[in-house]
Amino acid sequence: MSFKDFQFHPTIDAGITACGYTTPTPIQKEAIPPILAGRDILGLAQTGTGKTAAFVLPLLERLLTGPRKKVRALIVAPTRELAEQIHENIGKMSQQTDLHSVVIYGGVGKGKQINTLRAGVEIVVACPGRLLDLLNEKALTLSTVEVLVLDEADHMFDKGFLPDIRRIIRLLPKNRQSLVFSATMPGEIRHLAEEILKNPVTVQINHTLPAPLISHGLFQVATEQKTSLLKNIINERQMTSTLVFTRTKHKAKSLALQLERSGFNAASIQGNLSQQKRQQALDGFRDGTYGILVATDIAARGIDVTGISHVINYDMPDTAETYTHRTGRTGRASRSGEALTFAGHEDSKMIALIERNLGKKMTRETTPVLAPQAEEERREERRETLPRQAPRAKKTGAAGQGKSRRDKACAFDFGTRKTYQR
């Protein structure tokens, strides 16, 4: 199948060519025809499947006919990065058309967004909070919206946006086309989808399975040796573009600094950064200024950088689903990639869950002999692993139960433990 089969308007075909797409991805094959036919869609697809183009292309086709300078499509996304990315995609795909979009999110001034709205746009891509602000200020109206898209609905729920989403939906015309995309389908999202969608077509693309072209490796390593291991494997392997995940914002920042001091081109992206700094780090990662980007899960949502060669779980993800989200950043749209995870003995249960989800075992990698750790790094690690202030113990005596359960976690078989050196 080729894009020609959808019989898009020539200006949209030109946009597809400008993006360099030749063959539709599975979600595009399945979702584009019903969206073109005006149907509501429930799309179960993870990032990296090509879902943005799956809804943007038929949306543009629809908007080519009809009035200009009225808000006719509203796309709601949970993060600034995702909103920015969708807006950029629309810009590329619509470059030969006379359609315009604006991106709306908080953390930056409102002036530019309001001016663009005043100049007239057909597509609004927005995060819920700032959109509600601008609606309150009457900077736009949603009464002319024909199509609603909710992207990454499960993340909207994670971030507590569902009440805002319901407020926004009440401002939309009842007679509209609605598309809801989500990587997972918790009960709350199912309810929301039932409220929003009319007789939807469900399109499901391996939503629980990680992208197929990723290889998954596992290193056993003690916490205080993780940084040495990271430096070692970055040097040893062909890592052109590496995304490293840490659990905390502090660790993301300090690890990027340590890597920089060791001569690597590294930056970090975490929630404490200003929008401008985040964008600088992302742009630098995209254009190759930084070969390594260290990120937390929240900050990494919506990062779309093609050609990420490696995803490294410096800290274990909290859930198997987070593992899928993280590793979905590499191997995007039919490219291959490598995911490497650093684990200690306490992580055996999570590894079992991840492997169940993957449907296969991760490759047990041989941990190299590591140089003794520098004193500065040791201090940093100690600071990181210091227990957080314990919550006040409840009278029930429940405090401490979690710890003892974790301590009992069974060890798992790495097969290569002999080569591991403290």
Centre a 10 Å sphere on the Cβ of residue 348 and count the other Cβ atoms it contains. Answer: 16
Determine whether 299 is exposed, middle or buried from the number of CB atoms within 10 Å of its CB (0-12, 13-18, 19+). buried
207 sits near ligand AMP (criterion: CB under 6 A)? no
Considering only the stretches 15-23, 161-169, 206-214, 286-294, report the one whose residues sit in contact with ligand AMP under the rule CB under 6 A.
15-23
331 sits near ligand AMP (criterion: CB under 6 A)? no
380 sits near ligand AMP (criterion: CB under 6 A)? no
Contacts 24+ apart (CB under 8 A), 131-137: 131/76, 131/104, 131/168, 132/164, 132/167, 132/168, 133/106, 134/104, 134/110, 135/168, 135/171, 137/110
Out of 40, 152, 304, 365, name the contact with ligand AMP by CB under 6 A: 304
51 sits near ligand AMP (criterion: CB under 6 A)? yes
332 sits near ligand AMP (criterion: CB under 6 A)? yes
151 sits near ligand AMP (criterion: CB under 6 A)? no
Distance of CA 408 to the CA centre of its chain: 33
47 sits near ligand AMP (criterion: CB under 6 A)? yes
- Measured between alpha carbons, how far is 240 from 292 in angstroms, rounded to an integer? 8
241 sits near ligand AMP (criterion: CB under 6 A)? no
Considering only the stretches 16-24, 110-118, 222-230, 318-326, report the one whose residues sit in contact with ligand AMP under the rule CB under 6 A.
16-24
Compute the C-alpha angle 158/362/299, nearest 5°. Answer: 30
24 sits near ligand AMP (criterion: CB under 6 A)? yes
Considering only the stretches 24-32, 120-128, 203-211, 286-294, report the one whose residues sit in contact with ligand AMP under the rule CB under 6 A.
24-32
Decide: 295 and 329 in contact? Cβ < 8 Å.
Answer: no
Decide: 411 and 348 in contact? Cβ < 8 Å.
Answer: yes
Per-residue exposure over 61-75, b if at least 16 CB sit within 10 Å of its own CB, e if not = bbbeeeeeeebbbbb
For ligand AMP, the closer of residues 95 and 306 by Cβ is 306
Give the total of residues touching ligand AMP (CB under 6 A): 17
For ligand AMP, the closer of residues 1 and 369 by Cβ is 1
- Measured between alpha carbons, how far is 72 from 176 in angstroms, rounded to an integer? 10
21 sits near ligand AMP (criterion: CB under 6 A)? yes
For ligand AMP, the closer of residues 48 and 251 by Cβ is 48
- Measured between alpha carbons, how far is 126 from 115 in angstroms, rounded to an integer? 15
For ligand AMP, the closer of residues 25 and 367 by Cβ is 25
Contacts of 405 (CB under 8 A, 6+ apart): none
Centre a 10 Å sphere on the Cβ of residue 354 and count the other Cβ atoms it contains. Answer: 27
- Measured between alpha carbons, how far is 109 from 163 in angstroms, rounded to an integer? 24
Considering only the stretches 18-26, 61-69, 340-348, 380-388, report the one whose residues sit in contact with ligand AMP under the rule CB under 6 A.
18-26
Contacts of 327 (CB under 8 A, 6+ apart): 210, 211, 214, 216, 311, 337, 339
48 sits near ligand AMP (criterion: CB under 6 A)? yes
- Measured between alpha carbons, how far is 336 from 347 in angstroms, rounded to an integer? 26
296 sits near ligand AMP (criterion: CB under 6 A)? no
Minimal distance in Å, beta carbon 394 to ligand AMP? 44
Minimal distance in Å, beta carbon 22 to ligand AMP? 7
306 sits near ligand AMP (criterion: CB under 6 A)? yes
182 sits near ligand AMP (criterion: CB under 6 A)? no
Decide: 222 and 422 in contact? Cβ < 8 Å.
Answer: yes
219 sits near ligand AMP (criterion: CB under 6 A)? no
324 sits near ligand AMP (criterion: CB under 6 A)? no
* SS3 sequence of 58-89: HHHHHHHCCCCCCCCEEEECCCHHHHHHHHHH
For ligand AMP, the closer of residues 49 and 327 by Cβ is 49
For ligand AMP, the closer of residues 28 and 101 by Cβ is 28
For ligand AMP, the closer of residues 326 and 332 by Cβ is 332
Out of 25, 220, 309, 330, name the contact with ligand AMP by CB under 6 A: 25
Q: Which residues contact ligand AMP by CB under 6 A?
A: 19, 21, 23-25, 28, 47-53, 304, 306, 332-333
